[in-house]
Amino acid sequence: MDLNYSAEDEAFRAEVRAFLDAELPPELQRKVRSHLRLSKDDFVRWHRIVAKQGWAAPAWPVEYGGPGWNATQRHIWEEECARAGTPPILPFGVNMVAPVIMAFGDEAQKAHYLPRILNCDDWWCQGYSEPGAGSDLASLKTTAERQGDHYIVNGQKTWTTLGQYADMIFCLVRTDTSVRKQEGISFLLIDMKTPGITVRPIIMLDEEHEVNEVFFDNVKVPVTNLIGKENKGWTYAKYLLGHERTGIAAVGRSKRELDFLKKLALREQKNGQPLLHDPMFASKVAHLEIELMALEVTVLRTIAQEHQGPGPQASVLKVKGTEIQQLLTELMVEALGPNALPFDPAFLEGAAGHAAGGDDEGAPLAAYYFNYRKTSIYGGSNEIQKNIITAMILGL
């Protein structure tokens, strides 16, 4: 047992840090660290900076433009990005649709889509959930009917994250209604500019436009946009779910936020003392920090078993990781107390001047808390993750 990083790993970390020090634009870093909302341009700008370095798709094979990193190096990269406060590289293209295209797409699809994903030439979004198909995803109803060289798509997708910016959407659609629900699903790539597609915003409880409904009304999609075989889409979707999931714990990000929380609790006062010195508050922070220390080792243990392939262990990381992320935001709001109330959406979107209430540091935190309730719901709710643990690990 040896829990130290190797000299090669540390050298790699230094290389990553040097890159981030030199290339992360300070205004993006400030937005991320201050919990402000990122624009489309912010995401694209950072993606292209990283792509230029050749690091935009850490898990991709070298032949498709990946850097050839092992799991430990990918972990270090994620950890250093989180520590620095970079915008995220959005997962929909790089981590979600690309591995499916690589594994099941044809040569023309690989040649066309993969370089464009790598360079963020296309903004991808995900068309999985529907109003009647959430945790029970396989009951989806959006249909794709074959007519000559095209599919005619009708139906509705929902919770489409940042779909308002998207050029492309990857969808699970029903191509056969006569068989068991998992067996009639296909994986289809659809150009968002196709006539018949309507995107309608869903405004979330923090008044942010982060997700959308996407409606399909007789949308004509070339059959060349089908991935793999017709009616095999469920298999591809499951493949995607098991792919590259240790990052889901977001340990690096939570470490940065723990540091932020402590600074906030040193700034806030209780009984004439910094709040962090209050035994009741300190106890909550300590329990959180201890859980995070344990989770970091749990992540590293999962990485060390990488050769066994992605497994249901990711469900443990998702549950624990999101619990910690949510508790961090909860304690930030608790630290502010009544001063968490002022709400200034324009400030959150990056408007000049000071936040309503005058506390620029604290102004985004209540919205952040409410926004982060999503984490235990998306990506397979934490209850679904427990079903996976139950079935796949415990065999019940």
Partner 1 sequence: MDFSYKEEQQAFADALRRWVERDYTFEKRRAIVHSEAGVSPEAWATLVELGMTALPVPEAQGGFDGTAVDMLVVMQELGRGLVVEPYFATVLGAKFLALAGGQEALLEKVAAGELKLACALAEQQSRHDLSAIGAVATGGLENAAVSGVKTVVLHGGQADAFIVSAKVEGTIALFLVDADTAGVAVRDYRTIDGMRAATVSFDHAPATPLGTAAQGWDILEAATDYGATLLCAEAIGAMDALFAATLDYLKTRQQFGAPIGKFQALQHRMADMFIHLEQARSITMLAAVKEASGDAEERRRVVSAAKARVGQAAQFVGQQAVQLHGGMGVTDELPAAHLFKRLTTIGLTLGDTDHHVQRFIAQPGFQAVS
Residues that bind partner 1 (CB under 8 A): 1-6, 72, 259, 262-263, 266, 276, 279, 282-283, 286-287, 289-291, 293-298, 300-301, 303-304, 316, 319-320, 383, 385-387, 389-390, 393-396
Shortest distance in whole angstroms from residue 366 CB to partner 1 = 22
Three-class SS state of 320: helix
Which residue, 119 or 382, has its beta carbon nearer to partner 1?
382
Which residue, 22 or 396, has its beta carbon nearer to partner 1?
396
Shortest distance in whole angstroms from residue 301 CB to partner 1 = 5
With CA atoms as reference, report the closest residue to 264 among 369, 363, 361, 371. Answer: 361
The burial class, CB within 10 Å (0-12 / 13-18 / 19+), for 309 is exposed
Which residue, 186 or 298, has its beta carbon nearer to partner 1?
298
Which residue, 195 or 279, has its beta carbon nearer to partner 1?
279
Shortest distance in whole angstroms from residue 267 CB to partner 1 = 10
Shortest distance in whole angstroms from residue 223 CB to partner 1 = 41
Shortest distance in whole angstroms from residue 286 CB to partner 1 = 5
Tokens of 118: 């790598």
Which residue, 9 or 176, has its beta carbon nearer to partner 1?
9
The DSSP string of 223-280 is GGGEESSTT-HHHHHHHHHTSS-GGGG-HHHHHHHHHHHHHHHHHSEETTEEGGGSHH
Give the amino acid at 121.
D
Tell me how far apart the alpha carbons of residues 232 and 275 are, in angstroms, rounded to a whole number.
Answer: 55
Shortest distance in whole angstroms from residue 296 CB to partner 1 = 8
Shortest distance in whole angstroms from residue 278 CB to partner 1 = 10
Tokens of 195: 């006539």
In this structure, are residues 196 and 219 in contact, taking their beta carbons and an 8 Å threshold?
Answer: yes
Tell me how far apart the alpha carbons of residues 43 and 86 are, in angstroms, rounded to a whole number.
Answer: 10
Which residue, 18 or 297, has its beta carbon nearer to partner 1?
297
Tell me how far apart the alpha carbons of residues 116 and 125 are, in angstroms, rounded to a whole number.
Answer: 14
Which residue, 111 or 393, has its beta carbon nearer to partner 1?
393
